[in-house]
Structure 1
């Protein structure tokens, strides 16, 4: 198989999928509205992402791991995601997903959609329930940018041949590191700093921009 020609990296929540997974998990704890408000503030860049994520994950303490199946059943892939991933592969590219969300969900969604490589946070579990803590380092803005450059480097893809697609403030460093940064379903601060803004919530709009 020839080496990939280019790399497309997407955010997960509200980009690859229409949902915010942490809000779905918070619904299981009966704390959906407060976590949704905190997520919105983080995506707008009003608060530090890592600090915000830790406080939101703390609200999930006690949620049983059996809730993951219910959350997965509620996940909706973003319109056009299948077509975009197929087009990337057809043109000799690779697809990555890097998420401030969680491996527990992405490990099922990503391979089902045909994603080649992915990285996310991991939730700590004890006794069959969430502890309210994140295990290991947090996937924040810097980690997203690092992932894009690491994956590109592993395949000898120049940064100029990378595309980053995101919606929130924690995607801006990744978008800046990429050859092309696309704001998709994005907050105002992200639209203002992106190379291009995708208007419709349909990932097929990205296909004409592929190398």
Structure 2
């Protein structure tokens, strides 16, 4: 079979036999040939449905219509080059559960004000770089202790460390590329196992934020450039990469990658990115690449 449709059930859900029969029949009605189901995880949680003689975008449409509002994530793709050799991930609301700038703003009593600007920027309603400069300026004179407290309270998304460790164990290079701040990405990368982290630098003087940034701003173009550069440095192309993110700032790198995944994405991403995770966790990126659950490398923090 030339293509694969992967299904991953959300928490406390399962892939019922009747659902799989209905989906297989719908694919065949559209002209596809289908193969035997390959289970990727126990308890009917994740499986591959091989098919041929049908374009993957058409299979995606059929899966979306068949699954409707069921808590199931899915992705149709060619079998060739399915396992990726480069992982590039956004950090805020992707690898960690929070928006770090919003949490830092809470230390200054400005969370509601700054979170609203963040929300609009992540939805693509306002310019990211302008919004970043504006928000950082509002945090002038905040002590470094506030950054340390914020970093200590960050929670990893379920499956984050497993995603990174499993891909590294299978030879992939992993990078955390964030429009947030190096202060946080360095710590999150160390916790999860990313080999490289790229982000914006906060300017500090005498242990306090100056309200300015150091160096060029890492925005959506910077993320796309990171994908292109890291691929080229390893003799790869963006087709060999999996990228993941949730906001408008991630859109170019998601669209350019071989497997770009919108993780609980903002509306703009849900409209434009085909591979989506809306019901399960980051381990689904491994299932999309054909990993079996028994192949996962799960650190204690993810177990």
> 2:264 is matched with which residue?
185
Which residue does 1:47 correspond to in 2?
126
Partner SS for 1:101: strand
**1:31 CA drift (Å):** 0.5
CA distance in 2, matches of 1:187, 1:201: 16
Alpha-carbon separation, structure 1, partners of 2:116 and 2:211 = 18
The 3-state SS of whatever aligns with 2:144 is coil
Q: Provide, for residues 131-181 of structure 1, a one-character-per-residue CA deviation record: whole Å limited to 9, x for no partner.
A: 111111001000000011111111112221111101000101111221121
CA distance in 1 between counterparts of 2:265 and 2:99 reads 13
Structure 1 residue ranges without an equivalent (≥5): none
Q: Which has the higher contact order (CA 8 A, sep 6+)?
A: 1
| Secondary structure class of the residue paired with 1:150 | helix
Q: CA deviation at 1:36?
A: 0.4
Q: Identify the match of residue 91 of structure 1 among 170, 185, 189.
A: 170
- Structure 2 gaps of 5+ residues are 1-83, 291-303
C-alpha distance in 1 between matches for 2:270 and 2:170 = 27
Instruction: Establish whether residue 143 from structure 1 lines up as the match of residue 222 from structure 2.
Output: yes
* Distance change in 2, residues 1:38/1:201 (3 Å): farther
Q: Counterpart of 1:124? A: 203
Q: Identify the match of residue 76 of structure 1 among 146, 155, 179.
A: 155
Shift of 1:199: 1.5
RMSD: 1.4
Q: Do the aligned partners of 1:11 and 1:97 also contact (CA within 8 Å) in 2?
A: yes
Aligned mates of 2:260, 2:270 — CA distance in 1:
10
TM-score using structure 1 length: 0.95
Runs of 4+ in 1 over 4 A off after TM superposition: none
Instruction: State the aligned residue count.
Output: 208
> Do residues 200 (structure 1) and 279 (structure 2) align?
yes
Shift of 1:117: 1.2
TM-superposed deviation, 1:182: 0.6
Contact preservation (8 Å) 1:79, 1:201:
no
Which of structures 1 and 2 has the bigger CA Rg? 2
> Does the Cα contact within 8 Å between 1:88 and 1:210 map onto a contact in 2?
no
Give the secondary structure class of the aligned counterpart of 1:107.
helix
- Indicate whether 1:161 and 2:240 are aligned: yes
Could you tell me how far apart the structure 2 residues matched to 1:161 and 1:77 are? 26
Alignment partners' CA distance in 2, 1:94 and 1:199: 25
Q: How far is the alpha carbon of 1:35 from its aligned partner?
A: 0.4
Segment drifting more, 185-194 vs 198-207 = 198-207
Give the equivalent residue in structure 2 for 1:59.
138
Kindly indicate which of the two structures has a greater share of residues assigned to helix.
Answer: 1
Distance 1:192 1:185 in 2: 12
